[in-house]
Amino acid sequence: MRLSALLIAAAFSVALSAQQKLSLSKEENAIQERERGLRSLPDDTRAVTTKRLATDIQRLPPGANKLMLAMSLSSLSTEGDFGRDTLQAVATALAEAIQEQGKAAAITGGRELEAPYSELARLVHYEHVQVALKDPGFAAALEKTAADDRIRQDADFTLQDLEGKQWTLKQLRGKVVLVNFWATWCPPCRKEMPDLEKLHQRFGQQGLVILAISDEDFDKVKAYIAQGKYTYAILLDPGRAVNERFHIEGIPKSLVYDRTGKLVAQAPDMRTMGQFLKMLEQAGLR
């Protein structure tokens, strides 16, 4: 669950509904129900279904409903590795819906497109898909995404883990550091944690340090970690100061820093073991 994208899609729908009465057609409702069932599907079936949903969304008439459905599909399409073709189909559908909505009469002076621009920029920037959208708003969203990267490169933090030990990111030069923002309530976060544990066990002796940051209460996090028997470092950010400093708007999100402290890879959502290994390769771990 990318908190930002799913909530943004919901907030987007609410914002539009405040301006105009929205109701889903029979076809739109069917697409929404299929989207809601994506997480229950095996990964191979989910990839095929996601791609089909993108095509079905493209066939919808232009409008706010089409854009809302494209956004929610996009937020679900990066929860793992469903293939380049799937991501490209989703990005194309979202770009088309944005372009069509942009041609419609402005609802709030164009501000209703800020969230869709941001979601599309996330796909293009981090998942490396291509879209043919020439739009100042989209260009601004891409620049903000790149600016967030620069901020994460320079930002630092000092946080305590569950045992009271302090960790400072900038003091870990010489190590490969994987910073993972997560929460106990987040299904995709929970899904990738066993793989993070395996990475910790496999690469710990080679200098990998995993710092998983949660903004939840100590007791809740402690109980969950004990149940899962995870042994990598779990840090607490109760006031969300570090989340805000690193511009974390959705979880899970992972950042990989190489031994010189350079930010070499980012994941905007849940990653599979294969995807994590590719990220670590960029930091010199194989």
Model pLDDT for residues 121-152, shown as the tens digit of each residue: 999 999 999 999 999 999 999 999 999 999 99
Which residues in 246-283 are b (16+ Cβ under 10 Å) and which e?
bebbbbbbbbbbbeebebbbbbbbbbbeebbbebbeeb
In CATH, which superfamily holds the domain spanning 156-281? Glutaredoxin (3.40.30.10)
Least confident of 46-60, 94-108, 199-213, 232-246: 94-108
Least confident of 90-94, 105-109, 214-218, 235-239: 105-109
Confidence of residue 83 (pLDDT cuts 50, 70, 90): very high
Residue 26 has pLDDT above 80, yes or no: yes
Output the six-digit token pair for 227.
């149940």
Question: Residue 257 pLDDT more than 60?
Answer: yes
**What is the reported pLDDT for 110?**
57
Average pLDDT over residues 181-206: 98
CB 125 within 8 A of CB 136: no
The per-residue pLDDT for 14 is 46
- Measured over the CA atoms of residue 100, residue 103, residue 105 and residue 109, the dihedral's sign is positive
In degrees and rounded to multiples of 5, residue 244 shows phi and psi of: -70, -40
Predicted pLDDT of residue 241: 98
What stretches of the chain show up as alpha helix (H) in DSSP? 3-19, 26-36, 43-58, 64-77, 84-103, 114-127, 136-154, 187-203, 218-228, 241-245, 273-281
Q: Report the predicted TM-score, pTM, of the whole model to 2 decimal places.
A: 0.91
Token couple for 57? 């969304």
